[in-house]
A and B are shown apart, each in its own frame.
Chain A
Amino acid sequence: MHDAGKVIPGIIIFVVFVTLPFWWNVGKAVPKVEVELPKEYTSCVEDKSFMIREHMKLLDNWRNEVVRNGYGVYVNSKGQTFHMKFQEGCMKCHSSKERFCDRCHNFVAVKPYCWNCHISPEEKKGWATKKSNVETFSKQPASHH
């Protein structure tokens, strides 16, 4: 082999770079995700597999309905009706952002901007006890784009 002094380091750099995902995880445990589902309810507005895949689209549609067309009512695939509400709807059953939303979102590094405007149940709890929530209150909510 010619120019071994350059070729072999080149091969090593290539191999290290390509196998980076393997090195990165050496000695780390396989992460597990478990969300805390509400105990007193057994079904969401749609079935589970639909919600897992499509919840972002559903919430986006709800938002557009509510913000642009006034408050709306959602009719699901079984014909049941629900008020399109997030804090008083979704978060009523899923009472923890940290133990429900964030578990998956952090796992796959998704940063939804729901919370630019909405207040999570955790924040809400703190709201009543906090002396000065002026700071939070004066924060301008981001637009709904």
Chain B
Amino acid sequence: MGAVFALLIALGLVIFVYIGAGVIGFKALFAVVFPYAAFFIFLGGIIYRIIEWAKVPVPFRIVTTCGQQKSLKWVKRSRLESPFNNFEVALRMALEVLAFRSLFRNLRAELKGPNLLYGSSKWLWLGAIAFHYCFLIILIRHLRFFTYPVPEFLGIIEQVDGFLHVGIPHFYITDGVILAALSYLLLRRLADAKLRYISLASDFLPLFLIFGLVLSGILMRNFFKVDIVQVKEFTMGLVHFSPKVPDVGVIFYIHLTFLCALMAYFPFSKLVHMAGVFFSPTRNLANNSRAKRHEPAPWWQKPKFKTYCEWQEEFKEVLEQSGQPIDEDCYKKEAK
């Protein structure tokens, strides 16, 4: 159900652009208003999310560890699995962000007859890492539309990426890999009944938006073709704050609007894990609560204790009336 809803939104977006930019020809809206608006929603939204997260106190060290913590000298410890200081935390975070270490530990549980079997399952990790790195390379490649003269390293990336020389212009390897990875990530949610059950529209929508973005990009580059010089004049205009609306095919506007939708949706969706990964207290803390006393929560106040003497003072009359013994020591101390 969620998948259908998300797919309808993505398809509706295409129809919206096709009518808006293609049929009615309201190109300035799609070329100027939407990109700037989406970019500022993206930027502002993520900063807002970061500040909101940073306001939340994390009073306890809730590190998820999976290795021996620092203990006695002769006990071998695991620096990455149970980091003790900030340097080790940084290493652990770097592995998490750059290599998706926790996904690599993904397990799959299966019932085989009476036995519950656990096995390593790397497919999710492979799909995720292929997708993310391809997306990064594609993003970097697009810098050629925002720089002039174009830096040399972008040319090298492009040469390597188009190394196979399939078609004219060359089909990029990353384009093929990201399509495969996205298909896997989508089918994974659809094929497995358990995963389908826990998947929501908000899990599918980012997938469909990125799918639409990638597909429209490939179609534009390798099949429908647009006047790329006009496109670059437009993108250079965007970064110079004087955009010139390009008179190019509607496929370009579909590609651009998918990007705008993705940017505007970013801070409010699961995609914001890009910033959120740095704020997960199970990963970004050092497991040193046995060695160091950490500041209690900011709302923690020293509780007011009532001593026996104070209590006796409060109920002195009642105690005397009912013939209870009075602890004279309380008064002796005072007398001293």
A and B associate: yes
Query: Nearest residue in A to B168 (C-beta to C-beta)?
Result: A60
Would you call B50 and A10 a contact (CB within 8 A)? yes
Query: In the complex the two chains form, what is the Cα distance from A22 to B148 in whole Å?
Result: 12
- Say which size band chain A's interface belongs to: 35 or more
A33 smallest CB distance to B (angstroms): 6
Residues of A within 8 A of B145 (CB): 108
Would you call B50 and A21 a contact (CB within 8 A)? no
Query: Nearest residue in B to A104 (C-beta to C-beta)?
Result: B229
Would you call A53 and B227 a contact (CB within 8 A)? yes
Would you call B239 and A25 a contact (CB within 8 A)? yes
Residues of B within 8 A of A21 (CB): 143, 146-147, 239
B233 on the A face (CB < 8 A) = yes
Query: Nearest residue in A to B225 (C-beta to C-beta)?
Result: A53
The contact of A1 among B51, B159, B169, B237, by CB within 8 Å, is B51
Residues of B within 8 A of A7 (CB): 50-51, 54
Residues of B within 8 A of A1 (CB): 51, 54-55
A137 on the B face (CB < 8 A) = no
The contact of A31 among B46, B50, B236, by CB within 8 Å, is B236
Query: In the complex the two chains form, what is the Cα distance from A60 to B231 in whole Å?
Result: 23
Query: In the complex the two chains form, what is the Cα distance from A140 to B155 in whole Å?
Result: 24
Would you call A19 and B54 a contact (CB within 8 A)? no
Residues of A within 8 A of B275 (CB): 14
A116 smallest CB distance to B (angstroms): 12
Q: List residues 1-59 of chain A with CB under 8 A from any CB of chain B.
A: 1-4, 7, 10-11, 14-15, 18-22, 24-25, 28, 30-31, 33, 49, 52-54, 56-57, 59
Query: Nearest residue in A to B43 (C-beta to C-beta)?
Result: A18
Would you call B240 and A30 a contact (CB within 8 A)? yes
Q: List residues 215-270 of chain B with CB under 8 A from any CB of chain A.
A: 225-229, 232-233, 236-237, 239-240, 242
A66 smallest CB distance to B (angstroms): 15
Query: In the complex the two chains form, what is the Cα distance from A101 to B196 in whole Å?
Result: 52
Would you call B227 and A49 a contact (CB within 8 A)? yes
User: How many contacts between A and B, using CB within 8 angstroms?
Assistant: 87
Known: A1-B55, A11-B47. A111 touches B168 (CB 8 A): no
A145 on the B face (CB < 8 A) = yes
Query: Nearest residue in A to B274 (C-beta to C-beta)?
Result: A14
Would you call B165 and A145 a contact (CB within 8 A)? yes
B110 smallest CB distance to A (angstroms): 41
Query: In the complex the two chains form, what is the Cα distance from A73 to B239 in whole Å?
Result: 45
Residues of A within 8 A of B225 (CB): 53-54, 57
Query: Nearest residue in A to B149 (C-beta to C-beta)?
Result: A106
A109 on the B face (CB < 8 A) = yes
Give 1 or 0 for each of A85-125: 1 = CB within 8 Å of chain B CB: 00000000000000000001011111100000000000000
Query: In the complex the two chains form, what is the Cα distance from A26 to B286 in whole Å?
Result: 41
B57 on the A face (CB < 8 A) = yes
Residues of A within 8 A of B228 (CB): 104, 108, 110
Would you call A2 and B57 a contact (CB within 8 A)? yes
The contact of B46 among A14, A20, A24, A59, by CB within 8 Å, is A14
Query: Nearest residue in A to B55 (C-beta to C-beta)?
Result: A1
Kindly list the 9 A-B residue pairs having the minimum CB-CB distance in the complex, ordered from nearest.
A21-B146, A109-B150, A53-B225, A60-B168, A7-B54, A109-B144, A1-B54, A31-B148, A21-B239
Q: A7-B50, A14-B46, A33-B229 are in contact. List 11 more A-B contacts (CB 8 A).
A: A2-B54, A11-B47, A21-B143, A30-B236, A30-B237, A53-B226, A106-B149, A109-B158, A110-B228, A111-B155, A111-B159
List the interface of chain B (C-beta within 8 A of A): 42-43, 46-47, 50-51, 54-58, 143-150, 154-155, 158-159, 165, 168-169, 225-229, 232-233, 236-237, 239-240, 242, 275, 278
**Sample (14) of A-B pairs whose CB atoms are under 8 Å apart:** A2-B55, A2-B58, A3-B54, A7-B51, A14-B47, A15-B43, A25-B239, A25-B240, A33-B233, A57-B225, A59-B168, A107-B148, A107-B232, A109-B150
List the interface of chain A (C-beta within 8 A of B): 1-4, 7, 10-11, 14-15, 18-22, 24-25, 28, 30-31, 33, 49, 52-54, 56-57, 59-60, 104, 106-111, 145
